[in-house]
Structure 1
Amino acid sequence: MNILLWHMHAAWTSSLVQGKHRYLIPVTPDRGPFGRGRARTYDWPDTVEERTPAQLADDDIDVVIAQSPEEVELATRWIGRRVGRDIPLVYVEHNTPKGAVPDSRHPMADRDDVVVAHVTHFNAAFWDTGATRCTVIEHGIQTPVPRWTGELDRIGVAINEPVRRWRTTGTDLLPRFAAVAPVDVFGIDAAALPERLGLPGEAVVGHDDPPQAAMHAAMARRRLYLHPHRWTSLGLSLLEAMAMGMPAVVFATTDAIAAVPPQAGVLSTNLDELVDGARWLVEDASAAARVGRKAAEAVRARYGVDRFLADWDRLLEEATCG
């Protein structure tokens, strides 16, 4: 199939484009949020092609995968056909709802021209989509090449825009863990974090958006992976760290409780228990290795990329045939 797909979440897209289709990625001169083109820090196959809005008007597109209401509008304008009517539309919901959560109304609610694909069962349960058809396709990841060694008594965490997103991503909690061991934060605008926290020395070090392969290599040397997020959808960085064999310390919120079995990490809503768990894993390397092996087994069993692609192929076939 020829699939129109925006580059919004590079890690998630990296798994999707491993499929057998042709993926058309919009690109604009400013490479803004709706025209980023191919990812520059991920290795995408040649089946991912950049297309300008003018080129898309002449392309033979089989299905549109949108990830925001703006993309639905842009697709109709750029393709010159009614998306959802003249061409099938699948809307991927990556995020947890915001605001008055139990009553959060989804932007695609009560529509008969779209299928909403949630990335977690938690999101599907918490979004109000009305009569719109919904499904859940859980994440699928490619196991990173580096394997966990845990040779550094340091804590690794991946947070994009940790200063702006602050409490949502649990950025404000990092000083508690920095008292246990130095914390390395990888992600977009992470370099601004140490100054904002005002901690002495190298208690928290920001690594500003390194290429995926470099981040994996650096993360694998840290003793444990910390997932302090309070209210975000299930992070692919957590699954990637677990797949490398990293033990995880995780807030038991949103869909993390499904991704991290008790033997695969320290999972709690009690911050004191999480800090104690981090201290245990830092001080006991053999325990960290044992927990990390269970983490890798759990991810392989539930979040394999082959299962993910098969689920997407079924949904795309249903959408286009229907």
Structure 2
Amino acid sequence: MKRAIRFVAIGLLVLLIGGCFHLDQKAVNSEELSLILNEDGSISIKALKELTGIDVIVAASIEEEAITVGDSLLKIVTQSDEGTTRIAIVSTSSNIMEGEEIARIDGNFTTLKNLVISSSAKYLEIPSPKPQAKPPFPDGISIVDGSIDKASEGYFLVHAENVNGFAGVEITITYDPQYIIIDKSKGEQGVTPLNSFGTGLLIVQHTENSIKITTAFNSAKSVNSEYIYQIHFMASLVEGKTLIGLSGELRDANTGMIQTTFHDGEITIGGPKLIGDFDNSNKVDLPDFILFARSYGSVLGGEGEYIETYDIAPAEDKYQGVWAGIYD
């Protein structure tokens, strides 16, 4: 009888210890992430594999200031009326590496039990360049695809990729004046040279539906990847997509022709679009945040790879119907 009582007591002790350990849970792991409860009551989020971004929802109200991330990471913190907090964190440059601490959440947490409602992580590879007039750019000179509201002022960009040994560049841009009109009041007759091309001698000539841009340099130039011209224009009241044609030639310091490929582009005038849906999935989610982060802080004509698509301010709710209440 005493032996039976002793076994029951030991069994209850094991259950009690096991129950206490579960209630005092110190770590929560998924395939990609590990949340660790630190001795000071804070929580560390670590990567268990190489990642580009994470999206975690926790059953606690956490202020944005309590969440610390590294300088190369961006975070978005949103709180719900139900007392939950959603934390999205993405890398602005290279990926988050295995074992790296992604974030630290300050607080007086005592357990991780039932804290994590859901978690997801993404790993995105930068795709190889394909022949198209938007990032990633093909070799040669391209008109960058873009969009603009009708009856408004804007610009489109000309981009150079892996163009080497040139001392002179002449391009001709053709457009449909039914959709756009070059704004000659801005820049040099509607053209602003950017980056390396800001040091050249610029000549701009117009016809009814084209603009010829000639730039000459004192010595040979090479461009790895940069925007070279900003073309200012005014959009008409006509909505739709219009082709921007591009042709031209490059010559070296001895006036020899340099073989170069030129790529047309497309401008969309008017029409609603879901701001932030950069991957055209009809929703704004973690992959879109990752794409946005890669251009965060870039400046046109400055350091970083500026891409107009990710320059989304100011956001307005213009269209009604099914688009009412959505920033478009």
For the pair shown, the structure with the greater C-alpha radius of gyration is 2
Fold conserved (TM > 0.5)? Answer: no
Greater helix fraction, Structure 1 or Structure 2: 1
Greater strand fraction, Structure 1 or Structure 2: 2
Normalising by structure 1, we get a TM-score of 0.25
Normalising by structure 2, we get a TM-score of 0.25
